[in-house]
Amino acid sequence: MTRRRSSAAVRLFVSDLDGTVLPLAGGDGVRRFAAWWDSLTPATRPLLCYNSGRLCGDVRAVVRAVGLPAPDYVIGGVGTSLTDAAGHQLPGFLERFANGWERSRVQEIMAGVRGIEPHPERFQSPYKSSWSLLDADPARITAIVAALASADLRVRVIYSSDRDLDVLPADAGKGHAVEWLRRKTRVAARNVVVAGDTENDLAMFELPDVRGIAVANARPGLLAGLSTCDVYRAAATEADGVIEGLECFGLRPPPARPPDLKRHP
């Protein structure tokens, strides 16, 4: 993987949630990241977007509950929803998904896959069909993709963590959503940094000229796909690895001022 370190300012930071800025096993990582983020000056602090498999409302609830910095944007449902700081869907984002997407037909085909189980309803959405399929090999995933294609469905199949299988519209996904948001906010690709830990984050890293942070706990399936990406592989896990990576890309709080030593008479 490339090791160039661009000096371009970070104007948009997009991070996966669980296992990235939100430690899976708890701990003080959230507190450290929130304090670090808040210590950035307003002039240097980039736009913040969480990009999660969770639905947008769930992301916002978790962020408030654990004390993560409030986002400017949330991408939810593996790139099938995009909301602003007030929780409103951005106009024009969902309209792209209608062509070739029939969720009822997707559900019918997926229900016939041996050994598959649907995720709970709270993880589903009109443009996301989510399932649990343990330890599926590449041939099995290829067969599922072929079955959906044979029904004339334009879909994207994402398999991650040896368990989670998401079927989305062809124009959906975490990478497509980041690119749409980048253009919407008029941020140059060289000024975007993304962070993640699992296979469903790979599409973000693959965007041309976008820089990435792979935290130390990143799954082998993600790391295997990063050979052509501009990625910093952090030595630290989860939120601490995110801080490490952002500082490597030049985003740092201002130096602490020395104490004011007053001279006593």
Please tell me whether residues 65 and 188 are part of one structural domain.
yes
Sheet of strand 81-83: strand arrangement: 81-83, 73-76, 47-51, 12-15, 192-196, 211-214, 230-233
Please tell me whether residues 126 and 192 are part of one structural domain.
no
pLDDT at 174 over 90: yes
Please tell me whether residues 89 and 185 are part of one structural domain.
yes
Please tell me whether residues 109 and 76 are part of one structural domain.
no
Q: What is the mean pLDDT of the chain?
A: 93
Please tell me whether residues 63 and 194 are part of one structural domain.
yes
Please tell me whether residues 241 and 197 are part of one structural domain.
yes
What's the pLDDT tens digit per position in 65-82?
999 999 999 999 999 999
**Per-residue DSSP letters for 80-101?**
TEEE-TTSPBPTTSGGGG-TT-
What's the pLDDT tens digit per position in 7-41?
799 999 999 999 999 999 888 999 999 999 999 99
CATH number at residue 183: 3.40.50.1000
> According to the model, what pLDDT value does residue 2 have?
39
What's the pLDDT tens digit per position in 195-250?
999 999 999 999 999 999 999 999 999 999 998 788 999 999 999 999 999 999 99
- State the alpha helices, DSSP H only, in 39-137: 56-66, 103-111
Q: Hey, is 205 helix, strand or coil?
A: helix
Please tell me whether residues 23 and 133 are part of one structural domain.
no
Instruction: Tell me the residue range of the domain where 241 lies.
Output: 12-94+172-248
